[in-house]
Amino acid sequence: MAAPQNTFTSVDQVGIREDLEDTIYNIDPDDTPLYSMVAKIKAKATQHDWMTDALRASAENKHLEGDDTIATARTPTVRLNNQCQIFKESATISGTDDGLDKAGRAGEMAYQVVLATKEMKLDIEKALFANNAKVARDSSTAGELAGLPSWIATNVSSDGGSTDATGDGSDARVDGSTRAFSQALFDGVMQNIWIAGGKPDCVYLSSTQMDKALDFVGNNNQRNAAGEGKISNTLTFYSTPWGQVKWVMSREHRARDVFILQKDKWAVANLRPVKNTPLAKTGDSEKRQIVAELTLVSRNEKASGAVYDCN
């Protein structure tokens, strides 16, 4: 039916206020499981150094009564290093914008700084996982930290056509052809880590490889009744004869890499922790920068491992 003649409707109305919610919705992921997990220590130079050591292999040890003692040859410690990398984000707003009444946030600068800080932490997480060798800085070159694949060399399962990194951060690994991630490959690396003396406790993998891990066979079935009308198909912990590990899905590393880590053997050394600093005013605007300078520390790569080249 039509409205009666001359009915004044909302279509004719002038001055209706906009119906804008005072909330901003954003579901973009901002979790950084590796960066959040590892210990934070202090760096005091743009090149951060540390040392590792190793025991000799066990051997038959027997001596004659009264025999003279001969000095045992000792191997010196190994000195390693990684380069600090500068991460930077910024936020700039005009003087006019700062005076506006906006929905969803009390102040524009505070809101933009929060967004920029989250984005930069995602960049840090990506760098920690990156297949990247360290790069020393100079006047025309930005320093770059060596990521996980550049350190893990001893306990590795990879395609035969690949070349694994040396394990000192000096080179990236060369990828090979991909193959299916499997329980046999994973268990093989877990066993090798245990033989080397490691005690792995966490696994970082993509959602693609987690889907494969759900098919791992054990003495329980992950798919079971979790309550009336509910089905559970999850894998949080995986127990093996060589240790129990927690599974953590990560969005910021390559799906082809599965990292098996002993978390206390990794750290982030901060030369400058994440800091929000106002910049000099040069006009009708406010400027801020968010800066961090840090590097990855591999305290002993033999305590961890990786399954590489997963399709």
| pLDDT tens-place string over residues 199-231 | 999 999 999 999 999 989 875 555 555 566 666
Q: Is residue 73 part of a domain?
A: no
Q: In angstroms, rounded to a whole number, what is the distance separating the alpha carbons of residues 164 and 176?
A: 10
Q: Is residue 202 part of a domain?
A: yes
Q: Is residue 156 part of a domain?
A: yes
Q: In angstroms, rounded to a whole number, what is the distance separating the alpha carbons of residues 57 and 149?
A: 27
Q: Is residue 155 part of a domain?
A: yes
Which range of residues forms the domain containing residue 95? 33-49+79-220+232-307
Q: Is the pTM of this model over 0.75?
A: yes
pLDDT of 57 reads: 87
pLDDT of 234 reads: 77
At 233, which helix (H) or strand (E)? Answer: strand 231-233
Q: Is residue 199 part of a domain?
A: yes
Q: Is residue 302 part of a domain?
A: yes
DSSP state of 16: P
Kindly report the CATH number assigned to the domain that includes residue 155.
3.90.1690
Name residues of the chain where pLDDT drops below 70. Answer: 1, 9, 19-22, 24, 219-232
Which amino acid does the sequence have at 299? R
Pairing of strands 285-298, 85-94: antiparallel
Per the CB < 8 A criterion, the answer to whether 264 and 112 are in contact is no
Q: How would you write 155-168 as a 3-class SS string?
A: CEECCCCCECCCCC
Q: In angstroms, rounded to a whole number, what is the distance separating the alpha carbons of residues 280 and 184?
A: 58
Which amino acid does the sequence have at 310? C
DSSP state of 281: P
pLDDT of 26 reads: 72
Q: In angstroms, rounded to a whole number, what is the distance separating the alpha carbons of residues 41 and 149?
A: 21
Q: Is residue 10 part of a domain?
A: no
Q: Is residue 227 part of a domain?
A: no
pLDDT of 22 reads: 65
pLDDT of 8 reads: 72
pLDDT of 21 reads: 65
**Which tokens in the block code for residue 257?**
């890499």
- As for how many domains the chain has, the answer is 1
